[in-house]
Amino acid sequence: MTHVALVTGAGQGLGARFCAQLLTAGYQVVVSDRNLKAAQGVAAQLDASGEHTLAVQLDVASKADFESVLAQVLVRFGALHVVINNAAVTKTTPLMQISPEEFDAVVGLNLRSVFLGCQVLGAYLAQQGYGRIINMASLAGQNGGTATGAHYAASKGAIITLTKIFAKEFAARGVTVNAIAPGPIDSPAVHAAVPAERLQGLLGNIPVQRLGDAGFLGDLIVQLARPEAYFTTGATWDVNGGLFMR
């Protein structure tokens, strides 16, 4: 049976890249995004026939949306096996300029999206006795951030903790839960957050002197999604060019 993978925030950027690599690896792929047209565009680009993809609208702040999307996936493909909690909002507002409202908005969306993805979709996977959940954390959640705001960093640190909590909850029921914590990746989001005049300075602070490769993140997701990855759970995989070592 072909496994089915769902990616949140997949209407652009890394999420779209992850969808492409999962599709290449043989998965049926659910492209989910708050912007349905963006999700549909990615799905059409990756799979013109529409045979192996499903585009759905998903507001990751809504539990009802997660439940609705799960129902749509089951109607279309009959099962769900892999969840990539990728959706997030990135802000670079200086620490002392972050308003309480902006803090709540960033932390609330980033953390709530992973909580609901693990809670709603994870419950289904656990009921089926098999599943792989991969949460996108960040180096910012480990070292306080290099180019992102405090609210973003705080949310990503909390995602690492949530990953451990859900890993313990689901471990005995065949579901693994892991996180990936990338440093600066050669991606649209990083280039948008770091002005061109600051890029060389950023590279100079990375021990390997280069931005990370988005394709490698996708490869890592494919590996963690494999059935053979059953013995890896509750882990945070560091992909940061040596910026954070432990």
Question: For residue 29, is it within any domain?
Answer: yes
Q: What's the CATH code of the domain at 96?
A: 3.40.50.720
Asked whether residue 209 carries a pLDDT value surpassing 80, the answer given is: yes
Is residue 173 a contact partner of residue 191, using CB atoms and an 8 Å limit?
Answer: no
Number of domains in the chain: 1
Question: For residue 113, is it within any domain?
Answer: yes
- This prediction has a pTM of 0.96
User: Over pLDDT 70: what percentage of the chain?
Assistant: 100
Question: For residue 18, is it within any domain?
Answer: yes
- Which pLDDT does position 210 carry in this prediction? 94
- Which pLDDT does position 197 carry in this prediction? 85
Question: For residue 243, is it within any domain?
Answer: no
Task: Note the pLDDT tens digit of each residue in 213-233.
Answer: 999 999 999 999 999 999 999
Lowest-pLDDT choice from 5-19, 28-42, 75-89, 134-148: 134-148
Task: Note the pLDDT tens digit of each residue in 29-67.
Answer: 999 999 999 999 999 999 999 999 999 999 999 999 999
Active-site residue, selected from the candidate residues 27, 124, 130, 152: 152
Dihedral sign computed on CA atoms, order 23, 27, 28, 32 = negative
Question: For residue 242, is it within any domain?
Answer: no
Question: For residue 180, is it within any domain?
Answer: yes
Helix (H, G, I), strand (E, B) or coil at 231: helix
Q: Catalytic: 130?
A: no
Question: For residue 246, is it within any domain?
Answer: no
Whole-number average pLDDT of the chain: 96
